[in-house]
Amino acid sequence: MPNTGSGPAVGTGSGPAAEAARATAVGRGTIPPMRDLSRLPKAHLHLHFTGAMRLETLVDLARASRTRLPSSFVDGDPLRVPAGHRGWFRFQRAYDTARQLVTAEETMRRIVMEAALDDAAEGSRRLEIQVDPTSYAPFVGGITPALEIVLDAARQATILSGVEVAVVVAASRMRHPLDARTLARLAARYAGDAPGTVVGFGLSNDERAGRTGSWGPAFAIARRAGLASLPHGGELLGPEHVRDVVTALGPTRLGHGVRASEDPELLDAVVAAGISLEVCPASNVCLGVYRAADDVPLATLLEHGAQVALGADDPLLFHTRLTDQYEIARRLGLDDDALAGLARGSIRASLAAESSKRAWLAEVDAWLAEPDPVGDRPERRGPSAMQAIGVIDTRRPGLSGEARAPRPLSGPDPRRGGGRRR
């Protein structure tokens, strides 16, 4: 539940007075030190192509095409919709509005480059961006040229930003499973493990659409090509859907997966199977899965030993980026040790080369070894957006729970309630 106290906790304000108070509190040991989260080395593993677009880029595109943007893009507040079909429709309509403005190769390259530069500014070492080339194929000559543009842009962005950019080809549940097989064969042609290659195959959009097993053949094609299985699951729908996705698609990572927390035995089995979770706290709240950020079950996932990679999902709509997700985790009670653990989890869950992972993990250790600072400034990331998703002001002790004993994936399947989303 959100904090309803009479005022913010120590360390949440800004200005010289707040800085002095924070320094005093840190010196007395009343609050933990807070290192700059934008300097924490990390990997970004859940970012959708159109949703990665900068707002100013969208405004430029709308102006050039004389398209009037909905107020949800320009009023300064993140999209906030209720759970269920109506809320999903509103989200999808907003997303489609942005996607329909991406009609040129130049724009596609711009999106990739800006996403990489934004990630670089936030300490990201690796970006694995999801794209369905079908959406952009009509404007560039087909799905093959569309994917080749994104891959070439990823290679260029890697050089210019310093962030390794790889690509996940994602099929949509809103299209026929045969279309997914076509995409899987295309993805297989460009499979690799280097920046500018396809490293995984995903399945996104409304979890309630279609029968999950129908996409199994597409994932089999991708798997034979050495691609990681990266479907969405366990956000719109609960534990039963997580079990379905795990059984039918054999994920390497699970997009979202937060509602596995509702079934402890299932969650333990997911952890035992080595499946990492791509958790997007701000997205969960904006799309009605949870009422406020402090309802996101991050603590439960970590207590069960889950390897979690925080992601921004769709910054264009939710007005929060990667570092904001770590700030949410900090405000949920994670200290710098635990936040470093999250960063390590994102790096280990990435599909980067082992040599790169070792280097980045060493950089995380170096970040944690830095002298204790007075504190970073979360307000620089946009306090209005953070407030809008119900980020709490109190800080609880850092989480350091150990994994529980794994249990079989065939455990009980309670039909528990909860919010819905993709």
Give CA 416 to chain center in angstroms.
24
Q: Which two tokens stand for residue 47?
A: 């970012």
End-to-end CA distance of the chain: 23
Nearest to 109 by CA among 155, 143, 142, 73: 155
The token duo for 208 is: 């309630």
**CB of 350 closer than 8 Å to CB of 128:** yes
Q: Give the residue among 308, 328, 330, 332 at the shortest CA–CA distance from 320.
A: 328
Residue among 48, 403, 41 nearest 255 (CA): 48
Q: How many residues does the chain have?
A: 422
Strand partners, 131: 169
Catalytic residue among 164, 235, 327, 363: 235
Closest CA to 184 of 200, 196, 173: 200
Reading the block at residue 129, the tokens are: 């961006």
Our CA angle for 157, 48, 86, nearest 5°, is: 160
Contacts of 231 (CB under 8 A, 6+ apart): 202, 203, 204, 215, 219, 245, 249, 251, 254, 255
State the Cα–Cα distance between residues 267 and 305, nearest whole angstrom: 9
Classify residue 114 as exposed, middle or buried by CB count within 10 Å of its CB (0-12, 13-18, 19+): middle
Known active-site residue 235: yes
**Which residues belong to the active site?**
235
